[in-house]
Amino acid sequence: MGALRVVLLGACLMLAELAQPGPARAQATDEVLALRALFVQLYQEGRYPEAAAAAQRLLAVAEARFGPEHPQVAGALSYVATAYRVQGRYAEAEPHFKRALALFEKTLGPGDINVAVVLNELAQLYYVQGRLADAEPLFVRAIDIEEKLLGPDDPQIATLLNNLAALYRAQAKYALAEQLRKRTIAILEKSKGPDDPVVAVALDNLAVLYQSQERYAEAEPLTERALAILEKALGPDHPDVGISLNNLASIYLALRKYAKAEPLYRRSLAISEKRLGPTHLEVAKTLDNLAGLYRIQGRYEEAEPVYRRALAIFEATYGSDHPDVALFYNNLGGFYFDQGKWAASLEASRKATAVFIRRTQRGLDLVGQTSTGRGRRQAAEQSLSFVRLLKAAHRLSSAGGDARLSDEAFQAAQWAHASEAAASLAQMAIRSAAGDRELALLVRERQDLLIEWEKRNGLLVWARSQPPDRRDPRVDQRIQDHLAALNARLEEIDRKLKDAFPQYSSLVTTTSLDIAEVQAWLRPGEALVQFLDVPELMPFLDADLAKPDPEETFVWVVTRTEARWLRSSLGSQALRERVAALRCGLDHTLWQMSDSAGRCAAVLGAAPREERVDGHAVRALPFDPGRAHELYRALLGPAEDLIRGKHLLIVPSGPLTSLPFAVLAAEPAADGPPATLAGFRRIAWLGTRQPITVLPSVAALKSLRQFAKASRAGKPYLGIGNPLLDGQQSDPRWGDHYRRQAAAARERQQCRTTPAARLAQAAAPPRRGFTRPFRGLAADIEEVRQFSPLPETADELCEVGRRLRAGEEEVLLGARATETALKDLSESGRLADYAILHFATHGTLTGQVQGAAEPGLILTPPPSGTGDPLALARDDGYLTASETAALRLDADWVVLSACNTAAASDENAEALSGLARAFFYAGARALLVSHWEVGSLAAVKLTTAAFAELARNPEIGRAEAFRRSMSRLVAQGSLAEAHPATWGPFEVVGEGGASLPDQRAGAAAPGLTTQAIAPADAPAAAKADPAKAKRAKARRSKSGDWRSTIWGGASN
């Protein structure tokens, strides 16, 4: 990795010198001016230790001449701090910067140019320490001050834009960083000329950004031009020349031009050692790169001592917890892994992952400071270190290593696929943990404000990246004022939380669970199964020498009494292929487009066939239970004895997030692939054999069971669906169908007085997705209106509502199925009064929505011609994930049918779509989601039967209720409904067990109150005593609890 220059420091220092106010400057003695000039000269020559000494003398003279609280003293402090920072003396630099900032603000005012200079310098200090969340607001404030004083095209603004771009590069916000970098170059070329050294620095920085994205062909000419400018302007031995040489060598390395790279690295190393000293960070960076050059050529004996010397410098400079130290250990772990030195690789990977974990946990400890959500999950971003740890640990364990490696690997796997869905669920649980309603609202407000800050700051950065003629200062100011108000409110909330909710800090800290803790949270009859698929690992060797480490999938199965670590030879690519093949036999939409239909036909060697059922032609997809059993055997077969008969809590990863486990065949088909639909009834489906729940993470088990309370909702059900849509009525093939469907939808805006008659199953056109849905920040309402109408969802929702004894006003159909209606309910607090929230409408994933649109749900759009931006912001017919997250729910269950709400947006995505994550954040405890588009008739049968089972037997939990419903549909439904394409898409996510208090032995959260519970080792019968359940049911009946009074029985 090329050494990154993030600072145009010369410009900052010269500005600081010239910016001293008139009276203070007049008082400055010749000695002060001489020392300041000496410092600037030494610094620009790269003679940092001597520059530090000059700054210290300057500080002593300034304090003696002007007293301790004078602008001259503040300037001297900033010089001392700057010299310390570039030498890596961070602990000494920070208090000097802070004292300088306080002095400038006190003596010159918060809007003075010197305040901006010190803010920039302090932000750079935080940046090089990896404290990105601390650095960002300082850069932003510095830009605010300087733009007001100097205008948007001043060279000093370019300096700050460049530094902010470096921060966004570190956060992988490449598009924003590139905009800022290009604007920096334009400003500097205009003001300084094309051959100025600062232009070279800016060019080099843009090249480094391109390197980060592997855009080497664009990076190479930029770096070559930068090097030529620097050598001509500064001489061949300047430290900046050394950095540019290092960057160019890194590009040559990436392009396999090893013979050109090595002399450049060696020349860069010689310059850094001579001008900066043998223990400087620039020396370590070049050593790291030189070792990498040796390694890629297989020159391991030459590489190791170079790595070790670089590591010693990094640790001496940064300490043990810096992200660069972690990245270095990551490199070292890979170095040993490539050679098959498993123990050495494991040890280095442990040190790397330990740093990532510690930093992640500290970064999320937000009480007492204003953190605005900019920190990223550094542990998740460094998943390669965790993957190497897992691979090395498994090899050692297989060879008879320490049995504790399984537990270590189990926790590492949790960090390797840290999930946003898990974070959303944890945030919901934290609000419950607060106990007091006002305190819970305060926690929720804080979470919402962080999201709002991120959005507003993104808008401000985008605006600042534009040229001056395209900017509106009034808009900038409004955004800045909003950000300032958000920061002030966050600070106020943090103070209140620190006093009233001291547990908050520990609760928001990301963590993993060890096997013993998982066992404590599991209930009898449950087994947690965690998957982690890993791709093949290519060694850091030239392509002609490299032999990849094979892909594989690791599986952990944990019950109350046992734990087992398994390995499957099926890795990421193999799973992707097998899951895709199974989905071809499950998802009708894959056969509606010629490209995907062709792929499916080639993979399966078969095509859909027609079969007559009850006088109707049914299109049966070519699902092969044999493939489903092979996948079951590869993933779960070795743990058959542990999982059989248990409620499975599955934490999937990678391609497995796109497949409901219910459709796996637990036993081989006795007669081969079914020749008719009736044959599917004889398959031993995993989903009908035992209940299954999906968890977004292992830690979600604790989040759900320690704090998440049962819903306090007093009403059973709210249904939303049958939006008023037109479809593509101009389509020559399907136009008549859409017109009939649209008319039917308008006729079904009220529930019928009797249950809907069964609708004939007919071939249907594909449901249309977005083509150009967004104009600005709102959906294009006319594009939304062209989604296909869904009149049958009215029957679905009305039938479920009828069985749940919901009033007609609680089934929002047609013109009432709007964003406005939903948001009004939420804002009034009435939405939180529904225990079940059921959406039957189109859902879209990020991958299906072009541009930057979010996933969301289609509702009835406003009338044609609606153009008011404020009105569209509130209701454009498209309920996005972020709008969903803003809803206030208290739902035991959210049902998302008629849409693919379980699927991820791409093959590398997390276990749940952004839409499902948003419902967790809003306050749902469990979701019933679908992996592909679902027929309304099947959805009615499956959901109503599951609700009925749960109402009759609340102790069985959601997953078991749904298993019973699914089993009944397969065995007793129509033959068409026996096919897994009909019943297979649904999945219970979240808390699939019964709602019970904390079940750990003696468990209670520190400082929190829990109900008395049965001992953790009590038999299941004692906890679910039928007699007790019957008495409890009777009590609920007498008290009018809807859960026990509405069901007189239900059937499919």
Give me the phi and psi of 61, to 5 degrees please. Answer: -65, -45
What is the C-alpha separation between 264 and 261, in angstroms, rounded? 5
Q: Between these two residues, 449 and 250, which has the higher pLDDT value? A: 250
Among positive and negative, which fits the CA dihedral 585, 587, 589, 590?
A: negative
Average of per-residue pLDDT values in the chain? 79
Contact between residue 518 and residue 698 where contact means Cβ atoms under 8 Å apart: yes
The first and second tokens of residue 174, run together, are 């490449």
* Per-residue pLDDT at 378: 44
Per-residue pLDDT of 545-568, as tens digits, reads 878 888 999 999 999 999 999 999
What is the C-alpha separation between 133 and 367, in angstroms, rounded? 14
Which pLDDT band, with edges at 50, 70 and 90, does 543 fall under? confident
What is the C-alpha separation between 388 and 839, in angstroms, rounded? 42
Per-residue pLDDT of 690-711, as tens digits, reads 999 998 888 888 877 876 566 7
Which pLDDT band, with edges at 50, 70 and 90, does 422 fall under? very low
The first and second tokens of residue 958, run together, are 């959601």
Per-residue pLDDT of 800-844, as tens digits, reads 898 888 999 999 999 999 999 999 999 999 999 999 999 998 887
Whether residue 572 is predicted with pLDDT greater than 80 in this model: the reply is yes
Q: Which helix (H) or strand (E) holds 304?
A: helix 300-318
* Per-residue pLDDT at 691: 97
Contact between residue 950 and residue 671 where contact means Cβ atoms under 8 Å apart: no
* Per-residue pLDDT at 457: 66
* Per-residue pLDDT at 706: 75
Whether residue 388 is predicted with pLDDT greater than 50 in this model: the reply is yes
* Per-residue pLDDT at 538: 84
Minimal CA–CA distance to 406: which of 525, 632, 524, 557? 557
* Per-residue pLDDT at 455: 66
- Residue corresponding to tokens 């397969």: 970
Contact between residue 389 and residue 512 where contact means Cβ atoms under 8 Å apart: no
Contact between residue 245 and residue 267 where contact means Cβ atoms under 8 Å apart: yes
What is the C-alpha separation between 234 and 198, in angstroms, rounded? 11
Per-residue pLDDT of 884-918, as tens digits, reads 877 889 998 899 876 655 554 444 444 455 677 67
Q: Any idea which of 362-371, 454-463, 791-800, 929-938 has the lowest mean pLDDT?
A: 362-371
In order of 75, 384, 391, 395, 534, the CA distances from 343 in angstroms are 52, 17, 11, 9, 20
- Residue corresponding to tokens 């401000």: 460
> Residue 537 gets which letter from DSSP?
B
Contact between residue 943 and residue 928 where contact means Cβ atoms under 8 Å apart: yes
Contact between residue 74 and residue 80 where contact means Cβ atoms under 8 Å apart: no
In order of 8, 254, 750, 819, the CA distances from 726 in angstroms are 57, 53, 19, 18
Whether residue 1042 is predicted with pLDDT greater than 50 in this model: the reply is no
Give me the phi and psi of 873, to 5 degrees please. Answer: -65, -30
Average pLDDT over residues 299-310: 95
The angle formed by the CA atoms of residues 433, 437 and 442, to the nearest 5 degrees, is: 80
Per-residue pLDDT of 16-70, as tens digits, reads 333 444 544 445 578 888 998 999 888 876 677 888 999 999 999 999 999 999 9
Q: Return the SS3 of 554.
A: strand
What is the C-alpha separation between 132 and 371, in angstroms, rounded? 10
Share of the chain above pLDDT 70, in %: 77
Contact between residue 734 and residue 746 where contact means Cβ atoms under 8 Å apart: no
| E-assigned strand segments in 958-1031 | 986-990
Determine the residue type at 746: R
Average pLDDT over residues 578-590: 92
Whether residue 327 is predicted with pLDDT greater than 80 in this model: the reply is yes
Q: Return the SS3 of 930.
A: strand
Per-residue pLDDT of 258-285, as tens digits, reads 999 999 999 999 999 998 889 887 899 8
Contact between residue 458 and residue 479 where contact means Cβ atoms under 8 Å apart: no
Among positive and negative, which fits the CA dihedral 926, 444, 416, 709?
A: negative
Beta-carbon contacts of residue 1028 (< 8 Å; ≥ 6 apart): none
* Per-residue pLDDT at 726: 92
What is the C-alpha separation between 325 and 322, in angstroms, rounded? 5
* Per-residue pLDDT at 848: 42
Minimal CA–CA distance to 860: which of 957, 935, 748, 960? 748
Contact between residue 568 and residue 561 where contact means Cβ atoms under 8 Å apart: no
Contact between residue 414 and residue 360 where contact means Cβ atoms under 8 Å apart: no
* Per-residue pLDDT at 711: 76
* Per-residue pLDDT at 577: 94
Average pLDDT over residues 392-396: 93
DSSP string, 34-64: HHHHHHHHHHHTT-HHHHHHHHHHHHHHHHH
Whether residue 778 is predicted with pLDDT greater than 60 in this model: the reply is no
Cα pseudo-dihedral 1039, 1043, 1049, 1052, rounded to 10:
170
Q: Between these two residues, 1032 and 511, which has the higher pLDDT value? A: 511
Beta-carbon contacts of residue 898 (< 8 Å; ≥ 6 apart): 721, 790, 793, 796, 840, 841, 842, 843, 930, 933, 934, 936, 939
Tell me the three-class secondary structure of 74-97, residue by residue: HHHHHHHHHHHHHCCCHHHHHHHH
Which pLDDT band, with edges at 50, 70 and 90, does 106 fall under? very high
Which pLDDT band, with edges at 50, 70 and 90, does 1011 fall under? very low
What is the C-alpha separation between 415 and 409, in angstroms, rounded? 10
Count of C-beta atoms within a 10 Å radius of residue 607? 11
Per-residue pLDDT of 176-187, as tens digits, reads 899 999 999 999
β 692-694/986-990 pair status: parallel
Per-residue pLDDT of 964-996, as tens digits, reads 999 999 999 989 999 999 999 999 998 898 765
Contact between residue 859 and residue 899 where contact means Cβ atoms under 8 Å apart: no
Q: Which neighbouring-strand residues pair with 537?
A: 549
In order of 15, 29, 132, the CA distances from 26 in angstroms are 17, 8, 39
Q: Give residue 622's Cα distance to chain centre.
A: 35
Contact between residue 46 and residue 276 where contact means Cβ atoms under 8 Å apart: yes
The first and second tokens of residue 989, run together, are 């996510």
Minimal CA–CA distance to 59: which of 36, 92, 86? 36
Q: Does domain 216-317 have CATH number 3.40.1440.10?
A: no
623 CB-contact burial (10 Å; exposed 0-12 / middle 13-18 / buried 19+) = buried
- Residue corresponding to tokens 């949270």: 521
Ramachandran category for residue 606: left, alpha or beta (phi over 0 → left; psi -120 to 50 → alpha): beta
Among positive and negative, which fits the CA dihedral 905, 908, 914, 920?
A: positive
Domain(s) of CATH 1.25.40.10: residues in the chain? 216-317
Which pLDDT band, with edges at 50, 70 and 90, does 165 fall under? very high
Tell me the three-class secondary structure of 109-165, residue by residue: CCCCHHHHHHHHHHHHHHHHCCCHHHHHHHHHHHHHHHHHHHCCCCHHHHHHHHHHH
What is the C-alpha separation between 223 and 251, in angstroms, rounded? 9
The first and second tokens of residue 569, run together, are 């030879």
